[in-house]
Structure 1
Amino acid sequence: MTFPILDMGEVTRLTKAGRLAEAMALLRGGVAVKNGAMSGAVLSGLGGKGAGQVTPEALQAFLDHAGKLAPHSRLGGVPGSRRSPTPLPDGARFEERIFSNGGASLGYKLYIPSRYEALSPVPLVVMLHGCTQSPDDFAAGTRMNALAEEQTFLVAYPGQSQAANASKCWNWFRAEDQQRGRGEPALIAGTTRQVMNDFSADPKRVYVAGLSAGGAAAAIMGATYPDLYAAVGVHSGLACGAAADLPSAFAAMQQGGPVSAAGVRGSRKPQRAVPTIVFHGDSDTTVHRVNGDQVIVQAKGATPLGQTVSRGVSAGGMAYTRTVQSDGSGYPVLEQWILHGAGNAWSGGSSDGSYTDPRGPDASREMLRFFSEVRTPSAP
């Protein structure tokens, strides 16, 4: 039996043009890939019922295998790092831990700086990696552990498994993973609370940040648990509710999604704008920059804020535009960095990790500076 050839380049082109119905039709009809990535038989074996009835899970696994032919069709994907782990300072620990609840579990790594003392509450930053990344890879690329050692705070890195997602993406595009008390948000919140219970973490200084698919997951955590996280950092991500399934995820990545300040069903609408800092490259071909704008709109809600705009160039030569929105007393609430010429990569990161752009402003340090200026109105 022979199969028609699937041109992943054409699928990507149609997706970027917003012609999702045609892209999905091509995916369903073309069951072999140029250069032989996967056959229709394998695709159906990944969860579909045949070439004409491809499930989202099968399609996602298919795109994971075909990603080298069409890298921009990944769900915020990034190539993995194979570098050796960074040596730990004397007295510091980088522990593997697990959170379990109701039959579901989530593994994570926790960085405990050498100067941590159980009697002194310290901040906690929860870092959500991008597709194909791992906690170790993300820690190396963002250099967040080095900053934790410098400024003394805890860093938790939840790790998505391939069992949950073939590309180890957070499932930000599924409605069941965009709601408080359900799915991945419940696991990430449970992980956060476990660290708070087991260590001396200040409940008013708990923050969440992520890259690409992890950035989208961070936005979801801010929308669904505004009482738990004092502030949110979204790098190259999407707003909560930007997509509800795999086809709409591709559309949102290329042209934004149907989001609003109200968020999605199951979100806990905050009584205030959730303090949020956003980084996004204007040359990002994986997640269009309009998504960064939508994250800001959603976080702001109906809160009236003043705005100031500044421009500059990083030490590495990358130009940027920085917009700060403040309340009536001049207190900064929202901050947006548009990185000119940057793609889907952590700004100012280290080449020791995957998908970083060392030329840009130091996103990790700027996020920590922004986080240090906010507190939750009450402890959870």
Structure 2
Amino acid sequence: MMFHNLVTVLMLGSAAFAAQLTQVPNYGGNARAKPQMWVYKPDNLKSDALVVAIHSCQSSAQKYFQNAKIPWKQGSDRKGYITVWPSSTTECWDVSSKASLSHDGGGDSNAIANMIKYAIAQYKIDPGRVFVTGGSSGAMMSNVLAATYPDLITAVSLYSGVPAGCFVSSSGQVAAWNNTCSGGQSTATAQKWGDVVRSMYPGYNGTRPRMQFWHGSTDSTLSPNNYRETVKQWTNVFGVSETPTSSKPDTPERNYRTDDFGPNVQGIWAQGVGHSVPSHLDQSEAWFGL
């Protein structure tokens, strides 16, 4: 009986110390937006990298973390890196207001940047190994973060998004839906799309995060036209051609096509796939260098 009780105590003890998603109640900064910050620190911490995983509309850090189709917890456990899971206080992330579409503007992007700064200091993250990923609204925010905080982010891998600034609200509304953008009617020249990115952090001339974006050809929520516009945007930002330097059919799997536009921009077109392009952990981690 004593042995049995000892085993039970040991098992409970190990469960108590098992890694779990934990909220950081005060991550600092003076952003007006106050999304929650959640952190997952794996039991076997082996890396000084950070991955920020940003949820979609009508979700949360907890739901995204527990979603079996979102593999970043598994990646964290496998390779020993910390993940941060922001949790929005609005139905979708604010990728429409001036506050969020500006460097240090006080919006959601500013708050997530503060989470990144907190994590770098608190968990001894290498500032050169900060990576961002997300799906749908989280993908839009990933693009916005790449534009507003290029100095904080090393690389981005986003799924089913739109160009940075595409969801802008003419009225300045926070977290507004933009039917023109979602429907694929927001088109512009590569120069204009690039200017949208540059205008979010005027005067910045440092390095930019490497951009990888995925989109499904039958996406009925965010039109597949947004893939083409995103290609225009980031090839212009990096000053490279919209014509791929290499194109690999059936990569990373059948009916997917991977297009490289030099070393810093990669687009993956998923033929026959709808709005929720499945996360490809290995390919996203490879893009991050993890």
TM-score normalised to structure 2 length: 0.80
Asked if the contact 1:323–1:336 (Cα under 8 Å) also holds between the matched residues in 2, the reply is yes
1:153 equivalent in structure 2:
81
Q: Quote the Cα distance in structure 1 between the aligned partners of 2:37 and 2:151.
A: 22
Match status 1:175 vs 2:98: yes
Residue 210 of structure 1: how far off its partner (Å): 1.2
Alpha carbons of structure 1 residues 256 and 191: separation in structure 2 relative to 1, 3 Å: farther
Match 1:229 to one of 143, 153, 157: 153
1:188-207 alignment, distance < 5 Å: 188-207=112-131
Residue number in structure 1 paired with 2:3: none
Q: Is the 8 A contact 1:281 1:342 kept in 2?
A: yes
Partner of 1:158, secondary structure, is: strand
For residue 319 of structure 1, what is the aligned residue in structure 2? 255
SS of the residue 1:204 aligns to: coil
> In structure 2, what is the equivalent of residue 309 of structure 1?
247
1:266 and 2:183 are equivalent in the alignment: no
1:189 is paired with a residue whose SS is helix
Aligned-residue RMSD, C-alpha: 2.4
Partner of 2:211: 276
Residues 273, 95 of structure 1: alpha-carbon distance in 2 compared, 3 angstrom cutoff: closer
How much does 1:244 deviate?
A: 2.0
Find the aligned partners of 1:280 and 1:104 in 2 and give their Cα distance: 29
Q: Which residue of 2 aligns with 1:299?
A: 234
- Corresponding residue of 2:133: 209
Indicate yes or no: 2:96 matched with 1:96: no
Judging by fraction of residues, say which structure has more strand: 1
Q: Shift of residue 91 of structure 1?
A: 4.1
User: Aligned equivalents of 1:109 and 1:302: distance in 2?
Assistant: 32
1:372 corresponds to: 289
Report the CA distance shift for 1:123/1:112 in structure 2 as closer, same or farther (over 3 A). Answer: same
* Superimposed CA distance per residue, residues 268-324 of structure 1 (whole angstroms, 9 cap, x where no aligned partner): 544455310001001000001121222232222252366100111666xx5111101
SS in 1 for 2:110: helix
1:89 and 1:144 map into 2 onto residues whose CA distance is 22
% identical aligned pairs = 18
Q: Indicate conservation of the 8 Å contact 1:96/1:108, yes or no.
A: yes
Structure 1 unaligned residues grouped into runs of 5+: 1-87, 327-331, 349-361, 374-380
Check the 8 A contact 2:28/2:118 in 1, yes or no: no
Q: How does 1:50-69 map to 2 (within 5 A)?
A: none
SS at match of 2:261: strand
Aligned to 2:4: none
Show CA shifts across 1:322-348 (max 9, x none). 10122xxxxx21111111111111414
1: CA distance, partners of 2:103 / 2:289: 25
Tell me the distance in 2 between the aligned counterparts of 1:90 and 1:292. Answer: 43
Q: CA deviation at 1:89?
A: 11
SS in structure 2 of the partner of residue 347 of structure 1: coil
Counting only pairs closer than 5 Å after superposition, residues 95-114 of structure 1 correspond to structure 2 as 95-98=22-25, 99-102=27-30, 104-114=33-43
Q: Secondary structure at the match of 1:177?
A: coil
CA offsets per residue over residues 117-163 of structure 1, 9 Å max, x none? 6xxx61101111100111122222312111111111111010001xx
Aligned to 1:115: 44
Unmatched 5+ residue regions in structure 2?
1-14
Distance 1:112 1:343, change over 3 A: same
Aligned 8 A contact 1:242 1:256 in 2: no
User: Any residues of structure 2 matched to 1:42-53 within 5 Å, and which?
Assistant: none
Q: Distance in 1 between matches of 2:108 and 2:16?
A: 32
Q: Could you say if the C-alpha distance between residues 202 and 177 of structure 1 is closer, same or farther in structure 2, counting changes exceeding 3 Å? A: same
- What amino acid does structure 2 have at the position aligned with 1:232? V
In structure 2, the CA distance between the partners of 1:270 and 1:130, relative to structure 1 (3 Å rule), is farther
Once residues 270 and 141 of structure 2 are traced to their aligned partners in structure 1, the CA distance between those partners, rounded to angstroms, is 21
Match of 2:264, SS state, is: strand
Task: Name the residue aligned to 2:224.
Answer: 289
Contact kept, 8 Å, 1:223 with 1:299, in 2: the verdict is: no
CA contact (8 A) 2:252 2:258 kept: no
- Compare CA radii of gyration and give the structure with the larger one: 1
- Report how far residue 113 of structure 1 moved: 1.0
